[in-house]
Structure 1
Amino acid sequence: MAAPVGGGDSVDWGTIRADYGWQFPNDYKEFVAVYGMGSIGDSLFISTPPFSEYPYASHLLSETPYPPPGGLLCWGTNEGGDDFLWRCADADPEQWTIVIRTRDQTLHEYDMGIGEFLLNVISGNLVIPLTASLEIDPPVFETWREEDLRMKEEGELEGF
């Protein structure tokens, strides 16, 4: 999946750890640096912790203490009401696994990091049981900046 022009967000990971108590897997940090907050194919929205340009009130860590209740932290969603989470059972974020929680609360766990998971989903090597299928062919990433601009142009962000 091509990196978007002007993509990537500069998260101060040290501040995130100091302010919220969280540390994150390296592959997620790399994803955020290259792609940032946004969506794949307007189908899978990927969230980030707050950063200096962050325009929204809620974010990946909104009201989520460390360790999280139930050991799960949501990093993505789709329009079908499915959640993409980490199982944060280990103090070492490199050991976290991916969990999909469908709208009916069924859990599916994958023993891989977010980078490997997204690569397998985008390439079609991993088909996950979701409430709504992901529209990611071709896999295009739209940053939050691009989405805001598009929505303003379409009149969907009045007063933003």
Structure 2
Amino acid sequence: MTSDALERLRRILPPSPASAEWAALDLQGVAEAEAALGVQLPPDYLDFLAVYGAGLLDDSLLIAAPATAPGHRYSTSVVEITGTFRRAAAKPYRAEILGDGDMYIHWGVDGGGDFYYLWRVEGESSAEWPVCVYDDELTVLPYGMVEFLARACTGGLPGELQCKFRGNGHEFLHWQDQYRRDVEQYGSGSYIPG
């Protein structure tokens, strides 16, 4: 299923220009992230990283790199945001909905910080982890990250989740391309790659 979902995604969502150059660097953080989190990351996430790397889908969903590898001064990491999410999940009003926050790995954030994109650690293999979306309510979806992204780009998500993703012409920007675009738009300093 992962390869089918990835192929569907590739047909409708071209990788960013920087993806080919920087995806390998994003993958270098996998061992560090897995050691820090004490789990193996889902294979479809690793497949996604190999093609796209970490970055931004439609200016609405930031897909985090596994860990902050050398040269990643401007990326967000799964290790970093999972730690932040777990601390926030321990608050009583969130714990009532989520249960044990340590059961979740945080892989993505929306631009407004309202939606948290997670994996719930369950089953014998990380390939079985469902994608969860938390926005003061928890929605558990019976598929992985790449299937989630493919559905987001084709109008196949349930109700209000689909509203976060515009209709046609989706764009993925690797975090390096996003950084370059921000520097060009806002003129905030000089771009220094890696």
1:61-118 deviation line (CA, Å, top 9, x unaligned): 02746xx65211211111241111111123521110010111xx11111010111111
Give the match for residue 52 of structure 2.
35
Distance 2:17 2:142 in 1: 31
Alignment partner for residue 143 of structure 2, among 84, 87, 112?
A: 112
Give the match for residue 107 of structure 2.
75
Mind listing any 5+ residue stretches in structure 1 that lack a counterpart? none
Structure 1 SS opposite 2:40: coil
Alignment partner for residue 2 of structure 1, among 14, 36, 40?
A: 14
Over the matched positions of the two proteins, sequence identity in percent amounts to 25
Deviation (angstroms), 1:128? 4.5
Give the match for residue 61 of structure 1.
79
Count, aligned residues: 156
Which portions of structure 1, spanning 4 or more consecutive aligned residues, are displaced by more than 3 angstroms?
156-160
1:17-44 deviation line (CA, Å, top 9, x unaligned): 3354231111100111111111111111
1:104-149 deviation line (CA, Å, top 9, x unaligned): x111110101111111111112235249632363111011111111
Distance 2:144 2:110 in 1: 19
Structure 1 SS opposite 2:80: coil
Give the match for residue 147 of structure 1.
178
Larger helix share, 1 or 2: 2
Query: Are residues 118 and 63 of structure 1, via their aligned partners in 2, closer, same or farther at CA, if it must alter by over 3 Å?
Result: closer
TM-score (norm. length: structure 2): 0.69
Structure 2 SS opposite 1:112: coil
Distance 2:122 2:187 in 1: 40
Residue 16 of structure 1 aligns with an amino acid whose one-letter code is A
Task: Say which is worse superposed, 17-26 or 129-138, in terms of deviation.
Answer: 129-138
Structure 1 SS opposite 2:148: helix
TM-score (norm. length: structure 1): 0.82
Distance 1:77 1:93 in 2: 20
Indicate if the aligned counterparts of 2:33 and 2:79 stay in contact, CA closer than 8 A: no
Query: Are residues 142 and 152 of structure 1, via their aligned partners in 2, closer, same or farther at CA, if it must alter by over 3 Å?
Result: same
Task: Say which is worse superposed, 120-129 or 12-21, in terms of deviation.
Answer: 12-21
Deviation (angstroms), 1:58? 5.2
Mind listing any 5+ residue stretches in structure 2 that lack a counterpart? 1-12, 87-99
Structure 2 SS opposite 1:45: strand
Give the match for residue 4 of structure 2.
none
